[in-house]
Amino acid sequence: MISRIPRNVRRMTTFEKLNFDNQALKQLPVDSSPDYLIQRPVPNACFHRVKPTPVDEPKLVAISEDALKLIGLDPSEFLRSDAAEYLSGNSNFPGADYAAHCYCGHQFGNFAGQLGDGATMYIGEVLKENGSRWEIQFKGAGKTPFSRTADGRKVLRSSIREFLCSEAMHNLGVPTTRAGSIVVSFDTTVIRDKFYDGNAHEAEPTSIITRLAPTRFGSFEIIRRGGPSAGRLELATQLADYTIKTCYPQIEDTDEKYKQLIKAVSEKTAELIAKWQLIGWCHGVMNTDNMSIAGVTLDYGPFGFMDRFDPEFICNASDNRDGYQGRYTYSNQPLIGKWNLMKWAETMEHLVPRLEARECIQESYDETYMAALISGARSKMGLFEELDAGLKIWLYFFGAERSEERSPLKITGAERSEERSP
């Protein structure tokens, strides 16, 4: 609910005065052809310019002042009568440059070709006075060249779920995309199969969520065979240089900067997944296109928190059928994170030889993950003395060694059984 803004909040900036910089569209190739509503391959480009599709009678139903302060917005802006017009895409932010991101990815272990932002739009990047940069996105603002047979819309229930979880994750200390606002239109509706039982008959209100987010692993995979820019190695180089400049500037002038990039991303990813494990959170669909190169939690789809400790916890019903056999279980998440890194590094084989990249990932990821897991577990339990046997103890405690079938968490953590309700 939108409430009265406290008087003592320091005034910042307005919708009209956001400092858009939009370096991604200046430094990476963009397809600006006007046929953005035609579903097609988008070769030789990292983005395609688009326009939001208006909704009728948008209403602002939720905001995160904490998240929107990241881009300098004054909280009083959300009390404006036209706030929902801006945050739905009906009115354009001055300086914004709307685009859909072209990317590929491995889905459930198999390369899926071109995917892209089918329901998400890049609005632009806001540069703060302190030098921080945040990419703003709309999720659910209409069709793009990557929407395939879908309508580019999101429904209110899924937007609320993402809004609540992303802000909860942030406050749990887990790096994440941020959700700034939700706008709903009860007059613009879409048909959805709410229970995934083949009965898609009920019209639901559409919603648009404002998201603050960096880039994805999958961006690099457009150069793979079967991708829209197959063989265009220079695109991967451009993406690597852009990533270093914007996310890892500390390595820009170092020797072997591309190997250092692989190391830095591996460490960020390992730290992130350790934090997931420590709070019993499952992503549910850890495809390569749903991983962030900046090491933040991205894409809140079929996620889930464990009610009881269960290493084989599956939160995505699709991961428990069609032969997938629980690829993205809780216990598999650390392994999948490393696998995704290996696939990403393959797109930079012309910059870092494959074997060298794999060795770099193997060493930096495993060491960082275990250090973060042990440190986080000790902190949660209030243990300050570090024992030499700590690694073995924590591996046993979490059941991280697959040979250990009866870890203390499985025994005492109310391990789910047939006798207990799910």
- Cα-based distances in Å from 385 to 367, 373, 377, 378: 20, 15, 12, 9
* Look-up of token digits 């265009």: 232
State the average pLDDT over residues 112-131: 94
**Same domain, residue pair 260 and 152:** no
Maximum C-alpha span of the chain = 63
Q: Examine the fold and report which residue of 166, 194, 213 is the final residue of a domain before the chain moves on.
A: 213
Backbone angles phi, psi at 47, to 5 degrees: -140, 160
**Domain assignment present for 156:** yes
DSSP per-residue letters across 291-331: -BTTS-B---SS-EE-SS--TT----GGGGSTT--STT-TT
Read off the pLDDT of residues 94-105 as tens digits, 9 standing for 90 and up: 999 999 999 999
- Counting beta carbons within 10 angstroms of the beta carbon of residue 51, is it exposed (0 to 12), middle (13 to 18) or buried (19 or more)? middle
**Same domain, residue pair 298 and 207:** no
Predicted local distance difference test score (pLDDT) of residue 201: 76
Residues with active-site annotation: 289
DSSP state of 102: -
**Same domain, residue pair 147 and 86:** yes
Predicted local distance difference test score (pLDDT) of residue 215: 72
- Counting beta carbons within 10 angstroms of the beta carbon of residue 320, is it exposed (0 to 12), middle (13 to 18) or buried (19 or more)? middle
**Same domain, residue pair 199 and 256:** no
Task: Evaluate the CA torsion angle 338, 340, 343, 349 in order and state its sign.
Answer: negative
**Same domain, residue pair 307 and 208:** no
Q: Examine the fold and report which residue of 167, 197, 213 is the final residue of a domain before the chain moves on.
A: 213
According to DSSP, the β-strands at 104-107 and 99-101 are unpaired
**Same domain, residue pair 308 and 176:** no
- Counting beta carbons within 10 angstroms of the beta carbon of residue 265, is it exposed (0 to 12), middle (13 to 18) or buried (19 or more)? buried
- Asked if residue 176 has pLDDT above 70, the reply is yes
**Domain assignment present for 419:** no
Q: Examine the fold and report which residue of 184, 213, 242 is the final residue of a domain before the chain moves on.
A: 213
Q: For residue 133, what are the domain limits?
A: 15-213
Q: Which residue has the higher pLDDT, 378 or 286?
A: 286
How far is the C-alpha of 173 from the C-alpha of 184, rounded, in Å?
29
Domain count, the chain: 2
**Domain assignment present for 9:** no
**Domain assignment present for 48:** yes
How far is the C-alpha of 59 from the C-alpha of 87, rounded, in Å?
9
**Domain assignment present for 8:** no
**Quick count: other Cβ atoms within 10 Å of Cβ 233?**
14
**Same domain, residue pair 209 and 329:** no
According to DSSP, the β-strands at 154-155 and 202-212 are antiparallel
How far is the C-alpha of 390 from the C-alpha of 380, rounded, in Å?
15
**Same domain, residue pair 161 and 261:** no
**Same domain, residue pair 274 and 387:** yes
**Same domain, residue pair 347 and 396:** yes
- Asked if residue 404 has pLDDT above 60, the reply is no
**Domain assignment present for 363:** yes
* SS3 label, residue 269: helix
pLDDT band at residue 200 using 50, 70 and 90 as cut-offs: confident
* SS3 label, residue 336: helix
Predicted local distance difference test score (pLDDT) of residue 332: 95
**Domain assignment present for 417:** no
**Domain assignment present for 239:** no
**Same domain, residue pair 206 and 276:** no
* SS3 label, residue 356: helix
**Same domain, residue pair 190 and 275:** no
